Structure 1
């Protein structure tokens, strides 16, 4: 009987130790939901954050709208970084943002792109007859129903008077990286993506950047969703001088 009691005590101690270690591991591991267009810069920032603070960050990358719906349906990130103020405000309106910790961490531009080996070209400041240029081809953008880059693209198309001609030819992608890939593969002659994504690709070239006033300002907004102290630490790190240098390295603009 005495031996059985000792065994029970040992098991209890082991279980308590496992629970405590599990809680500790949870504190030292963060989950970030972020727009797909932030992949490269955010990966480097989170790697730097791990080296500095010893906190591992797992990234869930998709369109900002898809991620917002995941949060609404029970997803539990520690931070949410949206490429759209609209989706950031939506999550805030549902009460997920902790202590009003929500701010823009990086800005971007929008670019018209084509495959690197394309022999054709257009001048966005001249009259363009897209029905003739596209003929039987399509035009790649992120799906404007949930991809911020797609919404920005539609606004720019309307600003330049191209939307009516291009709308029947639009090939909506699940996120901005997918929209880029379609152009990289030469499956379509033109597309609209974030400038940062175009700059990183060796398979496309930028035809032109769209004027800032042709679409809503592109703001990547970070929001704290959990009450972990490390979540707030990462939130501040995203705005640090080192993080800003990484954002700019990948072509993003940063607030002063």
Structure 2
């Protein structure tokens, strides 16, 4: 016996499927919106990844992070890239974003401190006393001194300032290999492509392929300060709570364990 199909049943099923797909389409952006999007200086990666994992476990909310040089991130924010929170490796690039009216009033604070160090490949490390008149060019020899681009990358700017203050810059300027970020400079040394590099102490601690051979005097460069702020275009209700978590005592160990100083 043949069974006649009822047209209205097919129509109802199709309508239900369309309605379900519509709900799913509406729900997908809502779920994506729950993720806090963070633009963070490359040197923060290890510490921030650990802090974000703890934040997700505690709050149930996820994060997505774009790591790069602060200069690149600031320019992306200016160009309209969607982000909720910005953590810069220096005050200048946060000031730049603030000058464009792109950070939310009352959310900016000085978050972390750091040091800059001279590193060498692990198997070729010899202690270097960093002081006025150091013949760094002779140490580098025919190689290159790896550091962040000195006109834009914060670690590069701090490094250049220190070398200038110590009277070393004129002799080493022609041997500098400027990298797009401090982590890129670190990689050049770790892979043995550069005999020395200037990076943050926290970066050196995160890479077993390098050794710290000298630490720059703190008074040889401007204080290294990482500011943090919620961006004015953010519509994510969780951004403020995320920022509060990162700057809390609960999250502090994730950063101090990597060598950062937590600023209060």
C-alpha distance in 2 between matches for 1:104 and 1:206 = 26
C-alpha distance in 1 between matches for 2:125 and 2:27 = 60
2:234 is the alignment partner of 1:253: no
C-alpha distance in 2 between matches for 1:11 and 1:99 = 45
Q: Give the paired residue count.
A: 256
C-alpha distance in 1 between matches for 2:208 and 2:17 = 58
Q: Which has the larger radius of gyration?
A: 2
The 3 A distance-change label for structure 1 pair 92 and 119 is: closer
Residue 133 of structure 2 contacts residue 168 of structure 2 at CA under 8 Å; is this kept in 1? no
C-alpha distance in 1 between matches for 2:222 and 2:134 = 23
Match for residue 236 of structure 2 among 205, 228, 235? 228
Give how far 1:49 is off: 0.6
C-alpha distance in 2 between matches for 1:184 and 1:67 = 25
Give how far 1:121 is off: 4.4
CA RMSD of aligned residues (A): 1.9
C-alpha distance in 2 between matches for 1:60 and 1:67 = 8
Deviation sequence 1:30-77 (CA, Å, 0-9, x none) = 211111100000000111110011111111111000111111112111
C-alpha distance in 2 between matches for 1:236 and 1:120 = 42
Unmatched tracts of structure 1, length 5 or more: none
Partner of 1:206: 212
Match for residue 192 of structure 1 among 187, 194, 198? 198
Unmatched tracts of structure 2, length 5 or more: 1-6
Partner of 1:35: 41
2:159 is the alignment partner of 1:153: yes
Alignment of structure 1 residues 15-34 onto 2, 5 Å: 15-34=21-40
Partner of 1:69: 75
Secondary structure at the aligned position of 2:123 is classed as coil
Partner of 1:180: 186
The 3 A distance-change label for structure 1 pair 132 and 210 is: closer
C-alpha distance in 2 between matches for 1:162 and 1:230 = 47
Question: Please, which moves more after superposition, 117-126 or 27-36?
Answer: 117-126
Question: Please, which moves more after superposition, 63-72 or 210-219?
Answer: 210-219
- What is the TM-score when the length of structure 1 is the normalising length? 0.92
C-alpha distance in 2 between matches for 1:53 and 1:237 = 10
2:223 is the alignment partner of 1:240: no
The 3 A distance-change label for structure 1 pair 218 and 46 is: same
The 3 A distance-change label for structure 1 pair 198 and 17 is: same
The 3 A distance-change label for structure 1 pair 84 and 126 is: closer
Partner of 2:115: 109
